Amino acid sequence: MNLSEPFIRRPVATTLLTIGLLLAGMFAYVRLPVAPLPQVDFPVILVQAQMAGASPETMATTVAAPLERRLGAIADVNEMTSTSSTGTVRIVLLFGLNRDIDGAARDVQAAINAARADLPTSLRTNPTYRKFNPADSPILILGLTSDTLTPGQLYDSAATIVQQRMSQIEGVGNVDIGGSSLPAVRVELDPTALFHYGIGLEGIRAGLASANANSPKGDIVAGDRRYQLYANDQGRQASDYRDIVVAYRNGAAVRLADVGEVVDSVEDKRNLGLVDGKPGVILFIYKEPGSNVVETVERVRAAIPQAKAALPGDIDLNISGDRSATIRASLASTEETLIIAVILVIFVTFIFLRSWRATLIPAVAVPISIIGTFAAMWILDYSLDILSLMALIIATGFVVDDAIVVLENIQRHIEAGKPRVEAALLGAREVGFTVVSMSLSLIAVFLPILLMGGIVGRLFQEFAVTLSMAILVSLVLSLTTTPMMCALLLKPEAQMHAGKRPNILLRGLEGGFDALLRSYERTLRFALYHRQLTALSVFIAIGLTVYGYIIVPKGFFPDQDTGQLMGGIQADQRISFQSMKDKLERASAIVQADPAVESIVGFTGGRGTNSANVFVGLKPRGKREPIETVMARLRPKLAQVAGARLFLFPRQDLRMGGRQSFAQYQYTLQGDTSEELYAASPKLLQALQKRTDIFADVTSDQQEGGLESRLVIDRATAFRYGITPDQIDNTLYDAFGQRQVSTIYNPLNQYHVVMEIAPRYLQNPEVLKTIYVSTTGGRARGSATTNAVAGTVAGGGTTTASQASTSGTSTTDTAATIAADSARNAAGNAIAASRGSASSSAPVSSAKETMVPLSAFAHFETGNAPVQVAHQGLFVATTISFNLVPGKSLGEATAVIDQTMLDLQLPQTIHGEFAGAAKSYQESSSRQPLLILAALLAVYAVLGILYESYIHPITILSTLPSAGIGAIVALLTTGTEFTIVALIAVFLLIGIVKKNAILMIDFAIDAERNRGLTPGEAIYEACLLRFRPIMMTTLAAILGAAPLIVAGGEGAELRRPLGIAIVGGLIVSQILTLYTTPVVYLYLDRLRLWVKRRRGGAAAVPAE
């Protein structure tokens, strides 16, 4: 059966079908989405909760722990990590790849609702969640600056206008704001004045809450008119609060201005944002898992002009970082590489065929095969990304093979004198099975990739399927369009050159090839004569391949030069905000002064007291050095900033895990108790910091060395004064926690009234001695906390009517007694209080309160406290982050860490594991030998089915060790790590190299069966006659991969290892397999005959 015959005999139909395939591919190309990598993201959800003024330990125990218990019960949660810092908890949930993120979000919301009953009442708002990965880098960074407005006003505009608009855009997962906080009315109290007037801090909180209300007031209906009731019951700015009466003393009003200052400021003054060295507010826009980066950035950019128009005119809104710019540049560079590869492949065919007519045939087949693949990609919902384009670049060397094999065989029959149509029919029929077996066995190589698990398998599935689709399209064209064009275009060489002499170039090429063929013929006879020596080289190649695989430096994914750096500053754990602010300004100035830096943004405050986040944008690659050089140049300069270190690492398109860190790789320690963990992790940290030959920027998120002032309460004495721990905590929170005590409702946003003692009292822990606790206004208890009607609840110390009549006590409550009615006070104060517990003190006291100094029932101790508490699962964890010294591999680093853990002899209760990219590397490297073995078995099975033989597939697979050693030697020579990309190159080599053996063995089997040649004669003739197509296909594959090595530009780091491994493997395998394949064929044929004789079969049976 000749599959090509109907297409050869109907050239018009074949031409139209080919043009249709071309148009379909072009239609699909302009509609394919653009992305840096295939759209494969772990579903990640971030849960956040905030409680102003709370310590990290309080946040971990009262907020993080209840949430973790509920969230940890959600199905398919692969990893749950949390970080508790001052006033903030962030819990990251990493789900399985197959988990629907919307379904996961519903489960998260249900878990948050279930945990609400266990959360503290002082938690102002419910925990919230967002569908994005905080460990990922933002896709767009916007900077807001102004010469006239304050940071608080900038933040207000950013939160009410820009953040709202950007959050609504499709594909946006979260819009984070840094650099300041919302405007607020700040009440800064003088504790000395409070004591002088006998007013407790809880009394001030009650006064502020009662003086600012925005509750329903009803309406009046008069006849046919209705009047809605309003009142000036809400204060909106500081001037509205200064004259609030908070108490009466000796008949005179005590106003808020008498006991402190009231200013228009911000909720949290401990924030700083820098945009290129200028104070400002920064918006970080993150994508939702699964969304397209480039499309999302385009939508955001389209919305920026509208946002600018809505902002005040004195605000400058600029883009400080755009992740899509380098993605577009990388894809453009890769597309240029693809075009160069196509041109080089066509040039190779011209050199060997020496005819423009013959060259035109693969020149049509190769581009149409590539363009036709775009249609398949569009149907499969793939994207134009680096991996899919790399697959098409490699495919140029594959797809030309089929056309060359068919073309060369048809040309051979034409030279033998057959008419063109007859030659096309005969030639296509002869090699049809060869082409099918080559293509199907090549596709079989990628079956293990399709079965790879995890995010790595998902990433390279698109690569494998794209390449397989290109091979299938090429297979169809080689059986249809190529033989049709051969029947129309090819002529005998003598006829083409009749009447004219070939030019000197053609004569030189032909002479050179003839000399090469004669040289191969001589060396082939030598190899066949010394078969044992030749066969020994196969076993040597196998041994060298195994040894080379063991010693080659291994990594996970090539480090990309994306032109962007991210990281942060880590300072002494005891540092104040003022000092931290200075460190950030100095470090930013150093980075900004570097000639390679184009922009820098950074912010500190909010989530951490001793850290800052920094994002650096570099100039285009043509205007700067490689990113490793820039980082190496900045390190010694940044080391001059005393008391702080700035850690930077290149932003990568592939970011694994959900941990935020200041370096690229992580190692996590866990223990049964926090004490054991906190003792063990510094030992590992110090040991790794000493290995400067491998590790750089080694840091830990364990921060338990902050300063604390601990108040040790004498409970018996406190109770004797009528003071409870709850009153003490509330007083301290009022004084030091930037407590939000009331809400100001505006049309566009909600703001808060914040109270604390004046900043001048916050400079020394000795200020605790000036703090007094009022004995009035204790929390209501028991039945007093019910919804009883006002006036029916007896206050503390009051007597009932019956008691009064018997004892002679008046039943008329005094004003002081009513003021002490905690339940009444709490109910009234709750009307305008922010979410949380309301004060039980009287909003306006008329009698001087009893004030007890803290020192009367407590003493103070200093010590260390955690600045940050990290959990993995439900347990305390410490994560050590590190970068690698240039030239060192991740495989070396993981081996050193494993050995260091053994050398330290840490307690058995301490166990560690790699996280993020390092964990994925370990998982993938452990599976690599199995994947290679699976690829070999898949190819063996396909070849065995096609040839109906157990022996011939082994002959074909014997060519592979030479390719393996060639690839490894090339990687070692160029100092390139054996990464996942290099592993893919090995799979490709399995497919490419076996083609040479297939070309030889197919011809030899046919010669034995149809012409009665002996195995030796058949394989010898096959080697010589197939030498030209073998050289053509191999050289085409080499030149198809060569642009991956030499082409620079964005994304070259990903392409180069693939090209190096393929070119190295092809060169070595081409030299060896031309000699080892015929020798292995003869030995295995002898083995087959011996097996036949042992089974009683005929002694002389033609080869299968």
Q: Report the CATH fold assignment for 9-33+325-494.
A: Multidrug efflux transporter AcrB transmembrane fold (1.20.1640)
The answer to whether the beta carbons of residues 968 and 552 sit under 8 Å apart is yes
Q: Rounded CA gap, 880 and 504, in Å?
A: 67
**Pairing outcome for strands 706-713 and 140-145:** unpaired
Q: Which residue has the tokens 């200020």?
A: 767
Q: Rounded CA gap, 954 and 486, in Å?
A: 34
**Taking residues 420-446, what's their average pLDDT?**
83
Q: Report the CATH fold assignment for 42-132.
A: Alpha-Beta Plaits (3.30.70)
Q: Which residue has the tokens 């499309």?
A: 295
Confidence of residue 827 (pLDDT cuts 50, 70, 90): low
pLDDT tens digit sequence for 105-119: 999 999 999 998 899
Q: What is the DSSP string of 944-1006?
A: HHHHT-SSHHHHHHTTHHHHHHHHHHHHHHHT--B-HHHHHHHHHHHHHHHHHHHHHHHHHHH
Single-letter amino acid, residue 564: Q
Cβ atoms within 10 Å of 94's Cβ, excluding its own: 21
| Alpha carbon distances (Å) from 488 to 176, 354, 420 | 65, 18, 7
Single-letter amino acid, residue 660: Q
Q: Is the pLDDT of residue 1 over 90?
A: no
pLDDT for residue 355 = 76
- Check if 9-33+325-494 and 503-551+949-1104 are the same fold: yes
User: Which SS3 state, helix, strand or coil, does residue 709 take?
Assistant: strand
Q: Rounded CA gap, 40 and 366, in Å?
A: 30
Q: Rounded CA gap, 269 and 581, in Å?
A: 12
Question: What are the structure tokens assigned to 102, written together?
Answer: 């919307």
User: Which SS3 state, helix, strand or coil, does residue 1021 take?
Assistant: helix
Q: What is the DSSP string of 304-371?
A: HHHHHHHS-TT-EEEEEEEHHHHHHHHHHHHHHHHHHHHHHHHHHHHHHH--HHHHHHHHHHHHHHHH
Residues 6+ apart with CB under 8 A from 277: 585, 588, 589, 592, 600
Q: Rounded CA gap, 287 and 90, in Å?
A: 18
Cβ atoms within 10 Å of 88's Cβ, excluding its own: 20
pLDDT for residue 438 = 77
pLDDT for residue 632 = 87
Single-letter amino acid, residue 93: L
pLDDT for residue 1099 = 43
pLDDT tens digit sequence for 24-81: 999 999 888 888 888 777 788 999 998 887 888 889 999 999 999 999 899 888 889 8
Cα 952 to the chain's mean position, in Å? 45
Q: Is the pLDDT of residue 502 over 80?
A: no
Q: Rounded CA gap, 870 and 53, in Å?
A: 18
Q: Rounded CA gap, 284 and 163, in Å?
A: 10
Please choose, from the candidates 1044, 1053, 1034, 984, the residue with its C-alpha nearest in 3D space to the C-alpha of residue 336. Answer: 1044
Cβ atoms within 10 Å of 225's Cβ, excluding its own: 7
Q: Rounded CA gap, 886 and 975, in Å?
A: 11
**Taking residues 642-657, what's their average pLDDT?**
81
pLDDT for residue 115 = 92
| Alpha carbon distances (Å) from 126 to 63, 114, 921 | 11, 11, 38
pLDDT for residue 142 = 93
Q: Rounded CA gap, 111 and 119, in Å?
A: 12
pLDDT tens digit sequence for 1054-1098: 888 888 999 999 888 888 888 888 888 888 888 877 777 777 644
pTM of the model: 0.78
**Taking residues 281-291, what's their average pLDDT?**
87
Q: Rounded CA gap, 1065 and 818, in Å?
A: 92
Question: What are the structure tokens assigned to 729, written together?
Answer: 């905590």
Question: What are the structure tokens assigned to 1032, written together?
Answer: 């053509």
Please choose, from the candidates 439, 238, 209, the residue with its C-alpha nearest in 3D space to the C-alpha of residue 939. Answer: 439
The answer to whether the beta carbons of residues 346 and 640 sit under 8 Å apart is no
Please choose, from the candidates 995, 942, 1003, the residue with its C-alpha nearest in 3D space to the C-alpha of residue 399. Answer: 995
Q: Rounded CA gap, 182 and 267, in Å?
A: 6
pLDDT for residue 814 = 43
The answer to whether the beta carbons of residues 88 and 50 sit under 8 Å apart is yes
**Taking residues 100-109, what's their average pLDDT?**
91
**Taking residues 1039-1065, what's their average pLDDT?**
83
Exposure class string for 319-340: b at 16+ Cβ within 10 A, else e: bbbbbbbbbebbbebbeebbeb
Please choose, from the candidates 469, 455, 456, the residue with its C-alpha nearest in 3D space to the C-alpha of residue 388. Answer: 469
Q: Is the pLDDT of residue 380 over 60?
A: yes
The answer to whether the beta carbons of residues 320 and 617 sit under 8 Å apart is yes
User: 827 versus 522: which is more confidently predicted?
Assistant: 522
Give the sign of the dihedral formed by CA 862, CA 863, CA 868, CA 871.
Answer: negative
Which H helix or E strand runs over 231? Answer: none
Q: Rounded CA gap, 462 and 388, in Å?
A: 7
Q: What is the DSSP string of 22-67?
A: HHHHHHHHTTS-B-SS-S----EEEEEEE-TT--HHHHIIIIIHHH
Highest-confidence range of 805-814, 817-826, 943-952, 1011-1020, by mean pLDDT? 1011-1020
**Taking residues 263-282, what's their average pLDDT?**
90
Name the packing angle between helices 980-1011 and 386-415 (round to 10°): 20
Strand residue runs (E) in 229-267 = 245-249, 252-255, 260-266
Q: Is the pLDDT of residue 542 over 70?
A: yes
**Taking residues 1034-1049, what's their average pLDDT?**
81
The answer to whether the beta carbons of residues 41 and 459 sit under 8 Å apart is no
Q: Which CATH number describes the domain made up of 135-180+267-289+563-651?
A: 3.30.70.1430
The answer to whether the beta carbons of residues 997 and 959 sit under 8 Å apart is yes
**Taking residues 638-645, what's their average pLDDT?**
85
Query: Percentage of the chain surpassing pLDDT 90?
Result: 20
Which H helix or E strand runs over 812? Answer: none
User: Which SS3 state, helix, strand or coil, does residue 189 take?
Assistant: strand
Can you give the residue ranges of every domain in the chain?
9-33+325-494, 42-132, 135-180+267-289+563-651, 184-213+223-265+707-780+814-863, 503-551+949-1104
Q: Which residue has the tokens 């060997």?
A: 352
Cβ atoms within 10 Å of 562's Cβ, excluding its own: 25
Single-letter amino acid, residue 783: S
Q: What are the φ and ψ backbone dihedral angles of 905, each rounded to 5 degrees?
A: 50, 55
| Alpha carbon distances (Å) from 244 to 211, 267, 815, 1003, 1101 | 7, 20, 20, 102, 111
Q: Is the pLDDT of residue 308 over 80?
A: yes
Q: Rounded CA gap, 170 and 846, in Å?
A: 57
Count of positions (residues) in the chain: 1104
Q: Is the pLDDT of residue 781 over 70?
A: no
Cα 384 to the chain's mean position, in Å? 19
**Taking residues 1-20, what's their average pLDDT?**
87
Question: What are the structure tokens assigned to 313, written together?
Answer: 């005119």
Q: What are the φ and ψ backbone dihedral angles of 661, each rounded to 5 degrees?
A: -155, 170
Which H helix or E strand runs over 641? Answer: none
Q: What are the φ and ψ backbone dihedral angles of 476, each rounded to 5 degrees?
A: -65, -45
pLDDT tens digit sequence for 116-157: 889 988 887 889 998 877 777 888 999 999 999 998 999 999
pLDDT tens digit sequence for 836-890: 556 656 667 767 788 899 989 998 888 877 888 888 888 888 889 888 888 788 8
Name the packing angle between helices 916-947 and 890-904 (round to 10°): 120
| Alpha carbon distances (Å) from 209 to 52, 213, 236, 245, 1104 | 17, 7, 13, 12, 95
Q: Rounded CA gap, 281 and 143, in Å?
A: 6
pLDDT tens digit sequence for 450-462: 777 677 777 788 8
**Taking residues 817-821, what's their average pLDDT?**
48
Question: What are the structure tokens assigned to 286, written together?
Answer: 């993150």
pLDDT for residue 983 = 85
CATH architecture of 503-551+949-1104: Up-down Bundle (1.20)
pLDDT for residue 839 = 63
pLDDT for residue 166 = 92
Out of 3.40.190.10, 3.40.50.720, 3.30.2090.10, 3.20.20.70, which CATH number does the structure's domain 184-213+223-265+707-780+814-863 have?
3.30.2090.10
pLDDT tens digit sequence for 473-498: 989 998 899 889 888 888 776 555 55
> 145 - beta bridge partners?
316
The answer to whether the beta carbons of residues 654 and 1053 sit under 8 Å apart is no
pLDDT for residue 788 = 44
**Pairing outcome for strands 44-50 and 128-130:** antiparallel
**Taking residues 337-355, what's their average pLDDT?**
81
> 845 - beta bridge partners?
247
